Structure formats: C-alpha cells, structure tokens
C-alpha cells in the first residue's frame, strides 16, 4: 500500500541529481504497460532533460517553474491523434509475435479502419486523454516505487509547447506533463473527501 499512500505531488527536486538513462528507460517501459483503448497505445513521451531544452519551453509554462528547473526529467505526455493509422502496426506485430491469432488481429484491424472513418478529432482526443492519464498515473506510481517523486502538471500551453522544441507534428497533442526527480522538499499532505462522498453502491 505504501506507494499509493506515500505518493504526493513534489514540486522541488535535487537539481544536481540526474536519473541514469537506463533507470529512466526502465520506468518509462513500465509506464507503457498501462492499458489503452483497443491497445492502440497512442501515448508518446517527450523527455525534456537538458538545460537548453528546459529554457526553450519555459515561456510556455503557466507557473510550475520550480518543477521545470529542478526536476531530472520533465516529461511531456502527448497523444497521437493519428492512432488509427499507427495502431494497425500494433496488430500486425501482435500477430507476428504470437500474441494474437491472425483472425483476431484482422478483426481488430477492420474495427480500427471503421473507426478511422467515423471518429472525429474530439472523440479521438477524448480517448487520448483517458489513455494518457492512465499512463501518467502509472508512471507516477512506478517512479515512487523506484524511490523518486513526481508532479502532474496541466499548467502549460498545449498549443505551443512542442513547437518550442521544434516538434512540428499536427497529430501530436500534449495533454499533461509529469515532472520527475529526487525530492528536495517533501510534498504536502493533501485532504481527500470521504468514501461516503465519493462512492455510491447500488
Ligand atoms: C490533471 C492534473 C493537473 C495538475 N496540474 C498541476 C499543475 O499545473 N501544477 C501543480 O503544481 N500541480 C498540479 N497538479 C497536482 C495537484 O495539485 C495534486 O495532485 C493535488 O493537489 C493532490 O495532491 P497530491 O498529488 O500530493 O496527492 C495537477 C494534478 C492533476 C491530476
């Protein structure tokens, strides 16, 4: 239970501590185990680590500068609005690697093609927020398990932040940032509403 009870949003990190790349990749791979709608896996992570890249995105933050300046990695979670095109490969690979029989993979591919024709951008984006939110939560818990801390951050300009990094891809929509690092200040204890207020049984 400890990672669930001990995870808190941490906003000030040891700015001299760099998470080794292999350890960061392990955490990101575990985060990628999060579920996604139809297993299309549309979530992408843009990892901002260098001082230079951090300075580029700074003007696109709404507050949250302490997390930006002190975190070891500032991870922009984005969703691929072109997921029905890129997702076909998930099913080809699933079949070739023996995760799915050919008939099942083909049936899924047919559904994807049908949705590609019928879903509008708002619906795809809505699914992207769900998938990306689940992955972000998984990343925050994995980080805690590894002894690090995080803060989910929605306070940034979603329209401009990727251009600041010279990423020009109209299908890539940022949804959330997760700052990640070694905590310098512990996060605040935060109140939760009661079970009675949050849960109804029928
Ligand atoms: C979608 C979302 C957006 C958030 N955006 C910010 C943010 O921009 N800046 C910030 O400092 N914290 C942000 N937070 C963190 C919340 O303030 C925090 O999760 C909440 O106060 C509960 O505290 P805890 O995470 O320590 O349990 C965000 C959290 C969520 C889930």
Exposed/middle/buried for 151, CB within 10 Å: 0-12, 13-18, 19+?
buried
Give me the pLDDT at residue 158, please: 98
Confidence (pLDDT) at 30: 98
Residues 45-71 have pLDDT tens digits of 999 999 999 999 999 999 999 999 999
Residue 196 CB partners (closer than 8 Å, separation 6+): none
Report the predicted TM-score, pTM, of the whole model to 2 decimal places.
0.96
Q: What is the pLDDT of residues 98-148, one digit of tens each?
A: 999 999 999 999 999 999 999 999 999 999 999 999 999 999 999 999 999
Q: Please report the pLDDT score of residue 87 as a whole number.
A: 87
- Check if 154 has its Cβ closer than 6 Å to any atom of ligand 1: yes
Mutation pick for ligand 1 pocket among 12, 132, 153 (CB with most ligand atoms within 8 Å): 153
Q: Give which of 173, 178, 46, 177 is closest to 122, Cα–Cα.
A: 173
* Alpha carbon nearest to ligand 1 atom 9, residue: 153
Could you give the 3-state DSSP secondary structure of residue 145?
helix
- How far is residue 130's CA from residue 145's CA, in Å, rounded to a whole number? 23
pLDDT at 142: 98
CA of residue 156 to ligand 1 center, whole Å: 13
Q: What is the CATH number of the domain that holds 137?
A: 3.40.109.10
User: 104 CB less than 6 Å from ligand 1?
Assistant: no
Atom of ligand 1 lying closest to residue 8 CA: 26
Output the CA 64–ligand 1 centroid distance in Å. 11
Q: Which burial class, exposed, middle or buried, applies to 15 when counting CB atoms under 10 A from its CB (0-12, 13-18, 19+)?
A: middle
Domain of residue 78: give its range.
Answer: 2-198
Domain count, the chain: 1
């Amino acid at each position: 239970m400890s990672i669930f009870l001990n995870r808190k949003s941490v906003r000030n990190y040891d700015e001299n501590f760099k998470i080794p790349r292999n350890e960061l990749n392990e955490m990101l791979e575990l985060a990628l185990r999060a579920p996604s709608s139809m297993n299309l896996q549309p979530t992408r992570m843009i990892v901002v680590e260098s001082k230079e890249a951090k300075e580029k995105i700074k003007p696109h933050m709404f507050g949250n500068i302490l997390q930006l300046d002190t975190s070891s990695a500032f991870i922009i979670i984005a969703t691929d609005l072109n997921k029905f095109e890129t997702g076909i490969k998930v099913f080809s690979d699933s079949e070739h690697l023996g995760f799915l029989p050919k008939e099942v993979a083909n049936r899924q591919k047919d559904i994807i093609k049908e949705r590609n024709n019928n879903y509008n951008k708002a619906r795809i984006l809505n699914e992207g927020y769900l998938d990306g939110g689940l992955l972000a939560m998984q990343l925050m818990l994995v980080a805690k398990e590894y002894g690090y801390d995080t803060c989910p951050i929605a306070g940034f300009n979603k329209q401009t932040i990727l251009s600041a990094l010279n990423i020009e891809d109209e299908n890539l929509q940022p949804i959330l940032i997760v700052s990640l690092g070694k905590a310098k200040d512990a996060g605040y204890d935060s109140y939760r509403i009661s079970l009675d207020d949050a849960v109804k049984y029928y």
